[in-house]
Amino acid sequence: MTHREAYPAAKVTWVKAPTRSAEADNRPVADLVAKVLADVKAHGDAAVARYGAEFDKSDLTVFEVTQAQREAAVANLDPQTRKDTEFAITNVRRFAQAQLATILPLDVEPLPGVFMGHRVIPIERVGCYVPGGRFPLLSAPIMTIVPAKVAGVKEVIACLPPNAHEAMVAGCHLSGADRIFRIGGAQAIAAMAYGTETVPAVMKIMGPGNAFVNEAKRQVFGPVGIDQLAGPSEIYVLADETGDAEMLATDLLAQAEHDVRTRVGLITTSKALAEAVVAEVEKQLATLSTAHVAAPAWADYGEVAVCEDEAAMIAYSDFIAAEHLQVHTSDPHGLAAKLTNYGSLFIGELASVVYSDKCSGTNHTLPTMAAGRYTGGLWVGAYVKIATHQWLTEEGVKQVAPPAARQAASEGLEGHRRAAQLRLDRMQVRG
């Protein structure tokens, strides 16, 4: 079911509607992924090598990238590419540090003699999946590895497909990965989740990937944590009559070239702008070198919706809960303050998603498929645990023991009642 079919469209009409649903187009990969996970869990590196040969045409039997290979990858980077990569690392690190500064330990005394609080504890070891994809996405390792090191994670394991560009290895190294393995797909998730002879088991797995990676993360979740389940990339733009058709079309196509299943959309109060953007997209596709990817995405998943007024535009946007949401209106900050469901917000026409994708500092690993209704994107807080504690004085026991014992008794939990009452009884015996 497409958004057009699912949404009560009393105040929304479509100049261009999506013809396919990304949710329905997910390939039936669950059974294959389950087989890969079980095989790697049982046979370790041998299974990883076998699936690497089958899926990635890899002949690797030693998966870890050596220190010499890491250093060579960095040395082989184009000097300007290295500078740009380090610029992005600095910005992501700076923003993650600012976020971490807002996560503080807590100690309070809400009742006399009852002390409680929490500690901020970094996860001991995390795994970062770095996708290979159609292009070498040099920002991908930065977004998962740098926040981990800022959070204080002791060991960061990075996995990337065997055929990933050497610059991706350099990106993992410069971002601070402790160990790097050339393992891709569901077998990489299995290796990090269960551990093999060479890959250590991690506590949490971060990073986006294809449908197989996503399904593998879903299946290993429980004993192993995951950041989120990521679908194809998404961009929506909210615009009124002041929107610039050329700029809007350019930004939409910038995301459409990610994948043929990318969802791109314009939600506007101006039918004239809607029609102009559709025309401009077609015009730009004629000269776009990545049109072989962007054109199918636009044809199948592209959406241009016209809303009756600003309230209807906000309501439809919050229903979509887009991964990336740009605001191009006469009062972008005013409209932005009224929005609640999105992965990351880009306020005003100067704030392009591309800047965040690459180097501005906010994390580009974001919720898709309407998950923005209940969560934000990857951030430094995903790499720490907020673990509570408490301790009591005798005065505190006097405060909480009687109601705890009474509640346990009313529930028929005699063991609970005894545990609640014991300390109080002993205090009374002591006088």
Q: What residues act catalytically? A: 323-324
Side by side, the strands of the sheet bearing 303-307 are 12-16, 303-307, 263-268, 234-239, 324-328, 344-347
Give residue 346's identity as a one-letter amino acid code: F
Do strands 234-239 and 225-226 pair parallel, antiparallel, or not at all (unpaired)?
A: unpaired
Give the Å distances, CA to CA, from 261 to 121, 282, 285, 302: 38, 18, 16, 10
Q: Which amino acid is at 156?
A: V
Q: State whether the Cα torsion 360-361-365-367 is positive or negative.
A: negative
d(CA 78, CA 201): 34
| Alpha helical stretches, state H, 241-368 | 245-256, 271-285, 291-301, 310-320, 332-336, 353-358
Q: Are 201 and 195 in contact (CB under 8 A)?
A: yes
Burial 242-251 (b: 16+ CB within 10 A, else e): ebbbebbbbb
Place of tokens 């504890």: 121
Give the count of beta carbons closer than 10 Å to the beta carbon of residue 216.
31
- Cβ proximity of 291 and 284 under 8 Å: no
Name the nearest CA neighbour of 100 among 52, 159, 44, 146: 146
Q: How far is CA 135 from CA 131, 139, 241, 290, in A?
A: 10, 11, 35, 11
For residue 431, the tally of other CB atoms under 10 A from its CB is 4
Integer CA distances (angstroms), 282 to 2, 29, 60, 237, 401, in order: 22, 34, 44, 17, 71
Residue among 204, 264, 258, 207 at smallest CA distance from 234:
264
The 3-state DSSP class for residue 74 equals helix
Sheet holding 155-160, edge to edge: 179-182, 155-160, 125-129, 204-206, 225-226
Sign of the CA dihedral running 390, 391, 392, 393? negative
